[in-house]
Structure formats: C-alpha cells, structure tokens
Chains A and B, each alone.
Chain A
Amino acid sequence: MNMPRKIAEVGETDAFVLATEWKMRRSGQGGHFGCSVLELSSPPDATALRAGLDELLRRHPMLVAASGRPWPFTTPWYVRPRNAAESLPLVRWRLPGPLPDDAAADGKEISSLETLVDWLLNEASATFLRPARHNMRVDLLDGGAGGCWLIVTWSHAILDGVGAELLLRELANLCHDSKADSVAPSFVAPARSPWSKPYDRWQATWPMLEHLQGLLQQGIHSLAGPKPKASRMRARWERLDEVATAAIQERATRFCGPLIQTHFHLACAIIAHDAVWRRHRGGSAPVYTVALPVQLRARGKAPPIFRNNVSVMFFTAKPDELSDIGALTASLVRQQQDAMKKGLMASFSEMQRWMRLLPAPLYSFFLDSQMKGQNTAFHHSHTGPFAKELGAIAGAAIRDGWHVPGLFAPPGTGLFMSQRDGRATLVMSWRECALAEAEAATLLNAFRQALRGEMETRE
C-alpha cells in the first residue's frame, strides 16, 4: 500500500481522540480543537512571531500530520499528507474602535475575543484540512489600549493540554532565538505493553473491563444524552481575583490537603452539574460517573510535545452524597486509591493498546456499543499553573493565559480550571445541544459557588 511518509506512531490515547474526532466530523460537530489564549500587555513583534512559527514547523512536522496505517488493523501512524501546509497561518484581527499608533491597522475587525474564540472553535475547523493540512494556527487580536490576545488553536488529534503549554513555550523560545534548543522532544514512541504474550495482554484488560461493566450497570448520564447531534461549540470563562482564588485554595486544602486538590475540584464540578439537573431537568441524575484524564508521562523524563498522554480514572457519586462536600471529596480520593490498588490504569492502557489497532469507525462503533453511547457524565480538569515558565512571547509580556478546550457531545459539557499569577480562571465549554443558555448560566454559577462554599452544603 502506498503510504505517505511516516512521522510518529499514534499512541493509545491518540487513537481514542482520532476516533472521537471521526465521530465529531460525522455528526456535524466539526474537528476536535482547543484554543490556548494568551493575554498580552502589548502587540507582539509580528516579524519575530512569523519567524518563530516558520522554525516551529520546520522542527515539528507533526504540525501538519494526518493519521494513516499501511494495512487495516495494523499500527497507526502520523504521516505527512500530500497536502501538508508549507507554513502555519498567522491571522490578525482587531477590536472595533480607534487603535493607537503602534497597533496593527491591517487586521480584520471582530466584535470581541469571545466572538473570535467562538469562530475558531466552530467555523475555523474546516480550514485545518483544506486546502492545506495543518494542526495549528495563530490568531492575534489587537484590542488597542486594552491590550492584545494571542490565540493558538490546536488539534487535539496530535496533543493534549500539557503538550499545548509545551508548544507555547517552544514557540516563545523560537520567536526569541531560532537556534534555541527545543523545550521537549517532539514525540516519543508509545509505551510498550509490559506483557509480551498476547494471552497475558488480553487477560490484563479484564480488571478494567469488569470495572466498566460495573459502572454501566449504574449508567452514565450526560446532559447531552447518548445520541451525538450537530451543534455549535460554546465557551465562557471567568478570571477570579487573588482573594477569591486564595479562598478556594484554602477551602480545597481544608478538604484534601495543600498539594493534591483534584478531588475537591472534581467534587465541585459534580455538584455544579447536579445543580443543572435539579433546576432544569426535573431532578438529579441517578449517578454521576466521570472519566477523569490522568497524565501518564514517564516521571523524571521530559514529556513529548505531541502526544495525548493520558489514562483515565472513573469516579462515581450518587446525588445523596453531594450535600457534604468534605465527604464527597474523601470518597473521590478513596476511589482513586482503590483504582490504583486494583491496577486499573495499567489495565485501561492495555485495553487502549488493543483498541488502537481498530480503524476509527470501528473503534467508535465498538466503544459506543460497549458504553451505550456515553463514556463520561462531563469533562473536567484542573491543569494547575498555566505555562508558568512563560513570561513573554515575541517581545510582549504575558498578563494571563488559559485553555478553552473543545469537546464532543455526548457529554457536551466541561468545566476546567487553571491558574496564573495567583488568579484562577474558570472555563466552561459546552455544545448547544447539551445546554440551553439558562442551563449554561446555572452550571458556571454553581461551579463558582461550590468552589467558594456558597452553596448549601454541610461542611
């Protein structure tokens, strides 16, 4: 079979994302893209940015890669397609109104940052494939005296949020010095199975399969329901001040200690979703089953830029557990410890290695038939400090930054958090088929209130 030039082997989770993207395109939900937004103190040096992007593409062919495999049911690869882009798009925009002398006058006018991100997550998706394939673009929005935003839109098919932050650092370094060492390897080969015999590898999947069967008996309930529908991506974000951020941190510390606060944030996201079910859907869902991504990279080694590098851990909570956030948080910690004791992450990885051999349509069919169309109640992550090593890009100081993840429906909703300079940013992404406007308002308000302890819960 005539196959384009191979770049890197598709990893286990990459294959899951590629299958999800296949479903998204098939159901009219576009591609699987995320935006990383940097708020800058002034417009960056566009010439340095262009040079940085050119060097970035020269070093990292994954930025134009598509996926393929030499034969059905063999190892999939990222390959260089025939229509690979020769350069990465850098597009300039400006907000309405007069611009200062040093601002770009040639940008296209757009009403707001929110409108631009909305356009990038929805309409821009088709431009990544044709006429020339690329997996990343940069948009610069000049806000005049209000500052400037640099938005990197990236394909989830080649990297995750951790990789996106490495990519931002790499771009910033190359804008400054085109000969700088790369911040991380472009890619590494996926981890091999620790079991060599096929029978042992098959047996290794059973703990997770049995665990999933148990979860499915309780059901997985997302606000979008089990059937994918064509609908727009939406996103809203909110930056908290230092006082509110510190109060949330203090509260999280009270419930789960100062260092590992994931379970508290997840508890808040569960409570927020329950608020939507109760206020708008006639009552709580029977159970909230959440698949939480867990970074799998080898500790002590530089992670690659390009790889969806996660395993998944499933957490459940019943509505009667939600009134006591301390007990709920403790229950989520216990669930993670139990899952680790049972070796579920290794089992899940092995399952993904088998699934990786399936072409995306078959992967999706198998997954949907096993999981009855839904594999999580919603998406959630707290990515910690956002690009903390990054202070400036192309000569412009970075005032703030956050990710706006795109997602598929079902589940159709996601609550995300990150932090920069002592201030947290809450991001809510959703599909219009999953949430009405009033429900979206409830979800974000309830998340904020749960984080800050403003809901009626026992403590």
Chain B
Amino acid sequence: MSAENIQSRPDAGAIRALLERHVLELPADFPEDGDLFGAGMDSMAIMQLLLHLEEEFGVKIPMGEVTGENFSTTAAIARLVAAKSDEHAEEDRGGR
C-alpha cells in the first residue's frame, strides 16, 4: 500500500473491519469495547494483525507494546495505532 493511501488514525470501526477481513470472525452485534480475547483472539491472530496494521496504517508496534490491555478491544487497538502514528509523525518531523 502506498504512503498516500495509508489511513494513519483509524477508528474502532476501521480496526474491526481489518480484523474481520484478515483475522477474526466477530458477531454482528460485537461492541467496540467487546473482549476480543473472549471472541477468539490469540497469539497467532495478533501476529497476523500486527502485519496488517503495518501494511494498512503504516505503524509498527514493538512486541513490548503487544499487551493484553492494548489488544483487548477494537477501541484499544485504534488508540494504540493512533498513538504510534503520532510517534512516527514526531520522529519524521525530528528527522527532517
């Protein structure tokens, strides 16, 4: 995916769409604060998700930040991706 296509601050809905496209089947009424681990998210699913987050939103999540809290809900993942996007943007500005 080219840089201009990367949506850097996805919301919970975009994360959910990505999860359903590549990683996990969620029930239609699954809320954005619903427990993803209870819905079947496991370590393999997270490894897949990390790749897709990098590919689709341009963020690389270090393994140290792959925590239960950060990956428990679509809303939490969206917050993490937004925070990492901001960090990357800050680094880019600092690098110029």
Contacts and interface: CB of A to CB of B under 8 A. Distances in A.
Interface in B1-38: 23-26
Interface in A255-269: 256-260, 262
B68 A301 contact: no
Q: Is chain B's interface secondary structure helix, strand, loop, or mixed overall?
A: loop
Contacts of A299: 23-25, 39-42, 45
Contact of B47 (A258, A300, A301, A340): A340
B47 A337 contact: yes
B43 A300 contact: no
Contacts, number: 50
Contacts of A258: 66-68
B51 A260 contact: no
A340 B66 contact: no
B23 A336 contact: no
Contact of A340 (B26, B48, B62): B48
Contacts of A129: none
Given A295-B44, A299-B23, A299-B41, A256 B51 contact: no
Contacts of A260: 43, 46-47, 63, 66
Interface string A238-264: 000000000000000000111110100
A294 interface: yes
B95 interface: no
B25 A298 contact: yes
Given A258-B68, A259-B46, A299-B39, 16 more contacts: A257-B63, A257-B64, A258-B67, A260-B46, A260-B47, A260-B63, A299-B40, A299-B41, A299-B45, A300-B25, A301-B40, A333-B63, A337-B51, A340-B47, A340-B51, A341-B51
Interface of B: 23-26, 39-48, 50-51, 62-68, 71
What 4 pairs across the A-B complex have the smallest Cβ distances? A300-B25, A257-B63, A299-B40, A300-B40
